């Protein structure tokens, strides 16, 4: 590929934020005591900095122009680069995916001691090799399904890569809503609904009882969390799959509901009467991922040798 300009989107480590920026006294005291709650924090920080330096050095060595930006400082989509590189873990990769349409994304797991890095085929040790394979076209990006969210007639700016959670803002409260798919409509009560992509099927969806899909699958999935089905009732829309040409509609019956997008950082209010339409996006994510990476969750193997180094 023509790789002349890249953007490196990186996280800030917990150590950077708590010790160096905020100089949090409680955190510093725990570090001094060697408390078990922070025992791995300094190691993770050192690994992260080393990986970030490696990414910068290898780009510079190949005369590739780049800008390095902390993910907390990123606010708008980019279209004037040839590739985005996320340096962190899966959370950083998810954040990075919200800022690109067609531009390919490569994830680098910067701290193997603290991050699983499901989406990240890169690391400090193999980044140089991966970069050369990208440049020579030996490595090609995969197309990963994302979701569009239309809230009250307005298309939200984030294209969902993992999943959304629709729920009451208080975790102990009942989530109430009307759920519609095709000609079926139900009034439901539960602790919320997960709606996710194939890429997100190994995370919260899996934990809630959903099915694992290949990361390059073309259907998206929903599952209702802890449905409150009364005696004599039989809700039909508790778990299922939708094709790319289908959509689902959720109307809030909650005074203080919310839509959580790809984790806890992006949240939209979802009060009574609001309507959300979820559908497959026409803009897939072009990502350098292993197409069989989700298979590891179908076995007892923790690592798939074809995907992880």
Tell me the CATH number for domain 147-280. Answer: 2.60.200.30
Q: Which residues lie closer than 8 Å to 210 by C-beta, 6 or more apart? A: 194, 196, 201, 221, 223, 239
Question: What average pLDDT does range 33-37 have in this prediction?
Answer: 94
Give yes or no for a contact between 276 and 248, defined as CB atoms under 8 angstroms apart: no
Which pLDDT score, from 0 to 100, does residue 246 have? 98
Segments of the chain assigned to CATH 3.40.50.10330: 5-140
What string of DSSP letters covers 122-180?
B-TTTHHHHHHHHHTTSS-PEEE--EEEEETTEE-SPPBSSEEEEEESSTTSPEEEEEE
Distance in angstroms (rounded) separating the CA atoms of residues 121 and 125: 11
Question: What average pLDDT does range 5-11 have in this prediction?
Answer: 98
> Is it the case that residue 59 has pLDDT exceeding 50?
yes
Question: What average pLDDT does range 71-80 have in this prediction?
Answer: 93
What the block records as the tokens of 266 is 């992006």
Q: What is the mean pLDDT of the chain?
A: 95
Which pLDDT score, from 0 to 100, does residue 307 have? 58
Which pLDDT score, from 0 to 100, does residue 304 have? 46
3-state secondary structure of 300: coil
Task: Place 168 in a pLDDT band, splitting at 50, 70 and 90.
Answer: very high
Q: Which residues lie closer than 8 Å to 246 by C-beta, 6 or more apart? A: 181, 182, 279, 280
Tell me the CATH number for domain 5-140. Answer: 3.40.50.10330
Segments of the chain assigned to CATH 2.60.200.30: 147-280
Give yes or no for a contact between 250 and 177, defined as CB atoms under 8 angstroms apart: yes
Dihedral of alpha carbons 307, 81, 7, 218, sign: negative
Q: Please, is 200 exposed, middle or buried when counting C-beta atoms within 10 Å of its C-beta (0-12, 13-18, 19+)?
A: buried
> Is it the case that residue 120 has pLDDT exceeding 70?
yes
Distance in angstroms (rounded) separating the CA atoms of residues 53 and 48: 9
Angle between helices 127-135 and 41-61 (to 10 degrees): 40
Each residue of 219-243: pLDDT tens digit?
999 999 999 998 888 889 999 999 9
Measuring CA to CA, which residue among 161, 141, 21 is closest to residue 85?
Answer: 141
Categorise residue 288: left if φ over 0, alpha if ψ from -120 to 50, beta otherwise: beta
Q: Which residues lie closer than 8 Å to 56 by C-beta, 6 or more apart? A: 8, 66, 68
Each residue of 267-279: pLDDT tens digit?
999 999 999 999 9
Task: Place 305 in a pLDDT band, splitting at 50, 70 and 90.
Answer: very low
């Amino acid at each position: 590929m023509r790789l002349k300009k890249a953007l490196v989107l990186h996280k800030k480590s917990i150590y950077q934020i708590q010790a160096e920026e905020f100089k949090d006294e409680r955190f510093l005291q725990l570090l001094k005591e060697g408390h078990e709650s922070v025992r791995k924090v300094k190691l993770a920080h050192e690994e992260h900095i080393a990986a970030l330096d490696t990414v910068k050095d290898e780009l510079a060595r190949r005369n590739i122009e780049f800008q390095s930006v902390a993910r907390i400082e990123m606010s708008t989509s980019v279209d004037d680069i040839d590739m985005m590189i996320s340096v962190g873990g899966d959370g950083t990769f998810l954040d990075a995916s919200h800022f690109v349409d067609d531009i390919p994304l490569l994830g680098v797991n910067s701290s193997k001691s603290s991050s699983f890095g499901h989406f990240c085929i890169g690391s400090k040790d193999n980044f140089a090799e991966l970069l050369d394979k990208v440049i020579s076209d030996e490595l090609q990006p995969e197309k990963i399904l994302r979701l569009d969210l239309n809230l009250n007639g307005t298309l939200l700016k984030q294209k969902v890569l993992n999943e959304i959670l629709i729920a009451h803002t208080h975790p102990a409260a009942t989530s109430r809503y009307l759920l519609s798919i095709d000609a079926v409509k139900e009034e439901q009560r539960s602790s919320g609904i997960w709606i996710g992509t194939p890429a997100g099927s190994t995370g919260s969806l899996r934990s809630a009882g959903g099915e694992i899909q290949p990361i390059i699958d073309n259907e998206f999935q929903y599952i209702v969390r802890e449905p409150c089905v009364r005696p004599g009732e039989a809700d039909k829309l508790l778990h299922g799959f939708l094709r790319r040409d289908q959509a689902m509609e959720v109307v809030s019956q909650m005074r203080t509901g919310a839509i959580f997008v790809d984790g806890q950082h992006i949240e939209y209010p979802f009060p009574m009467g609001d309507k959300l339409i979820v559908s497959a996006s026409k803009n897939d994510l072009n990502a350098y991922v292993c197409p069989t990476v989700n298979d590891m969750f179908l076995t007892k193997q923790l690592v798939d040798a074809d995907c992880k180094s």
